[in-house]
A and B are shown apart, each in its own frame.
Chain A
Amino acid sequence: MKHMALILGCIGSAFVLSGAQAADSLKRPLASLSSVQTESTDTDAPFDLNARPAVSAAAKPSLSESLSGTSALTAPRAGRSLVQPKREAAAGSVDESALRFYASQNDAARVSMEIKRLKVLNPSWEPPTNLFDEARDPAMDQKLWDLFGTGRLDEVRAAVDEIRATDPTWQPSAEFVKKFELAELRQQLVAASDAKDSASVLSVAEAHPDMMVCADVDVMWRVAEALVHTNEVDRAQDLYKHILTRCPNPAERLATIQKAAELLPATAIKPLIAVGQRRPGAGREFESVQLDLLRRQVGKLAADPTGEPVIASELRSFETLTTQKKAANDAVLLGWYYYSKKDWPTAQTWFKQAMSWDRIPKAVEGYALALRQQGQLAEAETLSYEWRDADPLIAKLYIEILATALTEPKPAAMDAGRLARTESVIEAAQSVNGSQAMGWYYYNTGAFQKASPWFSKSVAWGANETNVLGLALAANRMKDRALFQKVLAEHGTQYPAVAALKAYDQKPGSKGQGGTRVAKRGGGGGGGNGGGQAGQLAEAAVAQFKDGNYKEALATLDKRAAVSKEDQGLGVLRGWALYQLNQYDKARDQFASMDKKQSSRDTQYGLYYSSAKLDPLNLGD
């Protein structure tokens, strides 16, 4: 009834047909596609897409032209006009709604009775001659409307063809044809939109401005999107403004802002929000969008600190709102924001705040990372161990912290409890890197029997060059030739560095491997071909490195490089020196360029750790 009242209210008394049309439309299940009002009301005047010159569509034939030739629904209707002939003024005062309703039902008996009745009451009245122009076979029409309601337009066409086969002059009602053609255009537009074919979207829309109505906001959204994609941001903006000022559905208005916000920069959204809020009766419906916008901007900056900065006052109001609402997720977001700006203490504060409001693993993860960045490794380790089951990323972080500790160039001795905890978490997570780190830990402490199974696990969970190397080296040190050869046979072809270990097999007794990997290899390979000065400088660099004088080691390496080519051992030393100086990006570049020339366990290992340091949010496992 509300629907009917709406239509009657909008059309006004001049339209004597409205009652019957409304009654008619009430009966029909106007599902999905046709959930539009029967008539446009003036609150839903179509958006005039062509108000500005439409450059993109100028050269294309209009879709309506190309369609009209093929439309099965619009075969010419012989000798009948849909235009109602002019009748006596008396018609205006005679209520023909019942008459038209009966006619729409093909209820000829009641139509003729009603004509008789009206004629008696109004002798000068002439019955409308087009009564049955719209009179359909109700069953047939209903079938079509039902099909139409399901959106199966092809089946509608087939059904029409079927009816035509037995009744060549049959025509669907004008209303149906109109709706069908609109639906078909809509389908085309949606298909073009889904295919990101913006030009086609715009040419359909420009040829059929009556599609741009509030009853079908989705179409307008798609057109706006097409405008954005064809760099017609101003027109898109106008279209969004049109929706926001004309369309009454609050949910759709909100969605309009949200969609616009996905496509346009924040600076373009703010005016839209302002326009939307000018609408009478509009309350704080866009507050959530504004917050979302800010949230998105902050989130984007957290991922990419080089993006457009947030206006300080807005950031403050976001922080205030977050605190007021105790919005843990927003606090986490702020944590990441400050984390990305390397403001560890502020990041830590927000993460901690979030943890106090809600048990969010992300907050814990951020908090632990912030602690770690500030060197509070013990706290970070304790926290991430406590929360290891809440989120695999936290377990990973825990493993990462421990792996770093285990593979320090000079690893401190671990107590048994800590080792056992670490091992169980690594086992549970089946961590490739964690298990490898355990392998190296035992390897570096000479416990090859313990190292070997950890390398085995690591290889089983995800073979890579370094864990295969570790396994081979451990096998070699255990003198387990069967295992050693098996590893080489299985992985040698894939990893040249592993294949290169064949040399060890030929000289089982030779030295030059094991122990602290950097020092031994650096020292062992340094002196070769640079002559006496180069050899001295190499030894000096190794000594400086051992003593923790990384800067000096680097300077020495530079000096040596001026007189002799740097071999891989010294290159690795250089990488780790950079690493120790927190110059992770340079370290990574160093390891990467060496790895490119000749990949080895050392280059892989260095590459991994320097990369991990550079990307603490994404510890590759």
Chain B
Amino acid sequence: MIALRTALLGLAAITLATGAAAKTEPRTGLSLAQATETQAPAEAGLPAGWLQQAWAKYKQRFVRSGRVIDDVNKISHSEGQGYGMLIAVKAGDRAGFDEIWTWTKKELYIDASGLAAWQWKEKASPNVTDRNNASDGDVLIAWALIEAGAKWQKAEYVDDARAIVAALGRLNTAQTPAGLALIPGRVGFQAEDHPDGMVLNLSYWVFPAFDRLKGLGPETDWAEIQATGLRLIRDSRFSPMRLPADWIAVGSAPPAPAKSFPARFSYNAIRIPLYLAWAKVPQPDLLRPFAGLWNEKLNLGPFEVDLATGGALDTFGGTGFRAVIATAKCALDKQKLDPSLRTVEMGAYYPTTLHILSLIALQERYPECL
């Protein structure tokens, strides 16, 4: 998921057919009151079968014949396919998983690189007009495949994952001034492409996947890549708010907001606290700047933040973003999940996805917060 949430349009290396897509995620209009109507009883843990129910609704809403649809941006992308596969395997839906993986393999893994084309448009012909990849999409897909291989004892999934991990190692990792890093895509992010040096996206470090990747792709030093990601997050505390920009440039140390993008904490970087909390990365101080982004008492935030000043921009549109911050609060302070967030309501694709993932992360790592 590169351009649509980030105005990647300006990048010469990547051509976008739909310039209008460079819009930020609109608000979904899902109010807190609606969400709390179906509030689950305040008991420990989430109700049995919650994930299966949420996944069923999610499929109904966003998945068509194995294609996960980003309803706001009216496209599909490798990230969405990866998220869909991950939720399916967590929900134990093998048929659903197979359907999404089959579609993904057929429609996105069409390049000799062995990496997924990052976006797929229904109305375009061919549906894939840009064969560049987005490394987070491939990481998510590989992770989901590894999980599925373990869950259903199917070596084929693991073999597929191994191929993707190898391709990632080969084509999406590079030495940077900050260390061995995961680069956002095959094309367009190298030092020579930008005046301020190599451009990275810290939300592409899907930390909870890294343990799995380490086991599967020993030819690449995934531990070093993970360490670089954590170090960069620590060093990318921009503005008085100490928040990372969606896109950073690492041409010189320390990192800075990439000049080709708006200097914002926005729809990309909002995922960073989720991945930090979900992974077994014992560095709570990294979570602290994120944990305060939603004031649950006033239901204020989280906001996109202008990193030139630290001033608030628009509120992130969707319940799922609050769930991400709640997950950070739990990881940092063992703060209980706000009751309004216990139930997943179907909003837009992105926040709904993040909401489900947040609840999975809480259930797996911090059941005491539920």
Flag if A108 contacts B309 (CB, 8 Å): no
Residue among B282, B291, B312 with max Cβ neighbours from chain A (10 Å): B312
Asked if B303 contacts A137 (CB within 8 A), the reply is no
Contact B311 A112 (CB under 8 A): yes
Task: Say yes or no: B292 contacts A109, CB within 8 Å.
Answer: yes
Per the 8 Å Cβ criterion, residues 304-334 of B in contact with A are 305, 309-312, 332-333
Bound-state Cα–Cα, A110 to B303, Å: 10
Produce 1/0 per residue, B270-300, CB < 8 A to A. 0000000000001111001111111100101
> How many angstroms between the C-alpha atoms of A9 and B172 in the bound complex?
60
Partner of A119, one of B234, B284, B295, B311: B311
C-alpha spacing A5/B84, complex, angstroms: 58
Known: A127-B310, A132-B289, A137-B288. A111 touches B303 (CB 8 A): no
Q: Tell me whether B301 is interfacial, beta carbon within 8 Å.
A: yes
**A109 to B240, Cβ gap below 8 A?**
no
Q: Is A112 within 8 A of B312, CB to CB?
A: yes
A128 touches B240 (CB 8 A): yes
Residue pair B333, A111 in contact (C-beta under 8 Å)? no
Minimum distance in angstroms from B326 CB to a CB of chain A: 13
A207 CB-CB contact with B under 8 Å: no
Bound state CA distance, A129 and B307, in angstroms? 12
Find A111's partner among B241, B285, B288, B290 (CB 8 Å cutoff).
B241
Which B residues are in CB contact (< 8 Å) with A140? 333
Expressed in whole angstroms, the Cα–Cα distance for A285 and B303 within the complex equals: 61
* A166 located at the interface, meaning its Cβ lies under 8 Å from any Cβ of chain B in the complex: yes
B-contacting residues, A149-190, CB 8 Å: 166-170
Nearest CB of chain A from residue B4's CB, rounded to whole Å: 24
Interface residues of B, CB < 8 Å — how many? 29
Does B242 touch A at the CB level, under 8 Å? yes
B263 to chain A, nearest CB (A): 14
Whether the pair A109, B294 counts as a contact (CB closer than 8 A) is yes
Our count of residue pairs bridging A and B at CB distance below 8 angstroms stands at: 88
**A127 contacts B300, C-beta separation under 8 Å:** no
Residue in chain B with minimal CB distance to A127: B240
- Does A116 belong to the interface (CB within 8 Å)? yes
Contact string against A for B residues 219-249, beta-carbon threshold 8 Å, 1 for contact and 0 otherwise: 0000000000000001000011110000000
| A residues near B114, Cβ cutoff 8 Å | none
A129, B241: Cα distance in complex, Å: 8
**Residue B351 at the A interface, CB < 8 A?**
no
Interface string of A105-119 (1 = CB under 8 A from B): 111111111011001
Chain A residues within 8 Å of B284, by CB: 137, 166-167, 170
Set of chain A residues within 8 Å of B312, measured between Cβ atoms: 109, 112-113, 115-116
- Known interface pairs A115-B310, A139-B333. Does A109 touch B285 (Cβ–Cβ under 8 Å)? no
Q: Does B184 contact A (CB under 8 A)?
A: no
Contact of A115 among B242, B289, B309 (CB under 8 A): B309
Confirm or deny: A131 has a beta carbon within 8 angstroms of a beta carbon on chain B. Answer: yes
Chain A nearest CB from B126 CB (Å) reads 43
A130 to B242 alpha-carbon distance, docked (Å): 10
**A132-B289, A137-B333, A166-B284 as given contacts; A112 in contact with B303, CB under 8 Å:** yes
A166 close to B282 (CB less than 8 A): yes
Task: Tell yes or no: B137 within 8 A of A by CB.
Answer: no
CB within 8 A of A112: which of B285, B290, B310, B333?
A: B310
Give the number of residues in A that approach B within 8 Å (Cβ atoms).
29
Given A111-B241, A112-B303, A113-B303, also A106-B310 (CB < 8 A): no
B residues in contact with A166, CB < 8 Å: 282-284
Out of B234, B282, B291, B311, name the residue touching A106 (CB < 8 Å).
B291
- Report chain A residues within 8 Å CB of B251: none
Are B285 and A115 in contact, CB atoms less than 8 angstroms apart? no
Which of the residues A106, A109, A127, A168 comes within 8 Å of B309, measured between beta carbons? A127
On chain B, the residues within 8 Å of A116 by CB distance are: 309, 311-312
Which B residues touch A115, using CB under 8 A? Answer: 240-241, 309-312
* Contacting residue for B241 out of A108, A137, A169, CB 8 A: A108
| Given A115-B312, A129-B240, A132-B240: A107 and B332 interface contact (C-beta under 8 Å) | no
Which of B240, B289, B309 has the largest number of chain A CB atoms within 10 A?
B240
| B82 in contact (CB, < 8 A) | no
Q: Are A108 and B301 in contact (CB under 8 A)?
A: yes
How far does the alpha carbon of A107 sit from the alpha carbon of B290 in the complex, in Å? 10
Residues of chain A lying within 8 A (CB to CB) of residue B66: none
Using Cβ atoms and an 8 Å threshold, which residues of chain A touch B333? 137, 139-140
Find out whether the CB atom of B283 lies under 8 angstroms from the CB atom of A109: no
Query: In the complex, what residue of chain A is closest to B303 when comparing beta carbons?
Result: A112
Residue of A nearest to B289 (CB): A108
- Given the complex of chains A and B, what is the CA–CA distance between A109 and B290 in angstroms? 9
Instruction: For residue B329, give the distance in angstroms from its CB to the closest CB of chain A.
Output: 10
Q: Which residues of B contact A112 (CB under 8 A)?
A: 241, 293, 301, 303, 305, 310-312
**Complex-state Cα separation, A129 to B311, whole angstroms:** 12
Q: How far is the CA of A170 from the CA of B240 in the complex (A)?
A: 18
Q: Which residues of B contact A135 (CB under 8 A)?
A: 288
Question: Are B300 and A110 in contact, CB atoms less than 8 angstroms apart?
Answer: yes
B234 (CB) vs chain A CBs: closest residue: A169
Q: A residues within 8 A CB of B332?
A: 137
Are A113's CB and B300's CB within 8 A?
A: yes
Q: Are A169 and B285 in contact (CB under 8 A)?
A: yes
Known: A115-B309, A115-B310, A139-B333. A109 touches B295 (CB 8 A): yes
Closest chain A CB from B293 CB (angstroms)? 5
**Which chain A residue has the least Cβ–Cβ distance from B294?**
A109
Q: Is B302 at the interface (CB under 8 A from chain A)?
A: yes
Given contacts A128-B240, A129-B240, A131-B240, contact A109 B288 (CB under 8 A): no
Q: How far does the alpha carbon of A168 sit from the alpha carbon of B293 in the complex, in Å?
A: 23
A126 vs B300: C-alpha distance in the bound complex, in angstroms? 23
Given contact pairs A109-B300, A116-B312, A170 touches B285 in the complex (Cβ within 8 A): yes
Q: Name B299's closest neighbour in chain A (CB-CB).
A: A109
Of B284, B294, B301, B310, which is in contact with the most chain A CB atoms at under 10 Å from its CB? B310
Interface residues of A in 72-121 (CB under 8 A from B): 103, 105-113, 115-116, 119
Residues in chain B near residue A169, CB distance under 8 A: 234, 285
**A167 and B283 within 8 A (CB):** yes
Considering the complex, give the chain A residue whose CB is closest to the CB of B283: A167
In the complex where A109-B300, A169-B234 touch, is A132 in contact with B242 (Cβ < 8 A)? Answer: yes
Instruction: For B311, list chain A residues within 8 Å (CB).
Output: 112, 115-116, 119, 127
Nearest chain B CB to A121 CB, angstrom units: 12
Chain A nearest CB, measured from B328 CB (Å): 11
Q: Which of B289, B292, B295, B303 has the most CB of A within 10 A?
A: B292
CB distance from A386 to the nearest CB of B (A): 75
Q: How far is the CB of B255 from chain A (nearest CB, A)?
A: 13
Q: Are B291 and A109 in contact (CB under 8 A)?
A: no
B288 CB contact (under 8 Å) in A106, A126, A128, A168: A106
> Whole-angstrom distance between the alpha carbons of A140 and B334 in the complex?
11
Question: 8 Å CB contacts to B: which residues of A319-355?
Answer: none
Q: Nearest chain-A residue to B265 (Cβ)?
A: A112
CA distance A168 to B283 in the complex (A): 8
- A105–B329 alpha-carbon span in the complex (Å): 13
A111 contact set on B, CB distance < 8 A: 240-241, 292, 310
Set of chain B residues within 8 Å of A108, measured between Cβ atoms: 241, 289-293, 301
Whether B240 lies near A106 (C-beta < 8 A) is no
Q: Flag if A107 contacts B292 (CB, 8 Å).
A: yes
Residues of chain A within 8 A (CB-CB) of B290 are 108
User: A113 vs B282: C-alpha distance in the bound complex, in angstroms?
Assistant: 30
Task: Chain B residues near A130: list those with CB within 8 A.
Answer: 240
Residues of A within 8 A of B289 (CB): 108, 132
The 3 closest A-B pairs by CB, nearest first: A109-B301, A108-B292, A116-B311
Given A111-B292, A137-B333, 11 further pairs, Cβ under 8 A = A108-B241, A108-B289, A108-B301, A109-B294, A109-B302, A109-B303, A112-B293, A112-B312, A115-B311, A119-B311, A167-B282
14 A-B interface contacts by CB (under 8 A): A107-B292, A108-B290, A108-B292, A109-B293, A109-B295, A109-B301, A113-B300, A115-B310, A126-B309, A127-B309, A131-B310, A132-B289, A137-B288, A168-B283
Interface residues of A (CB under 8 A from B): 103, 105-113, 115-116, 119, 126-132, 135, 137, 139-140, 166-170
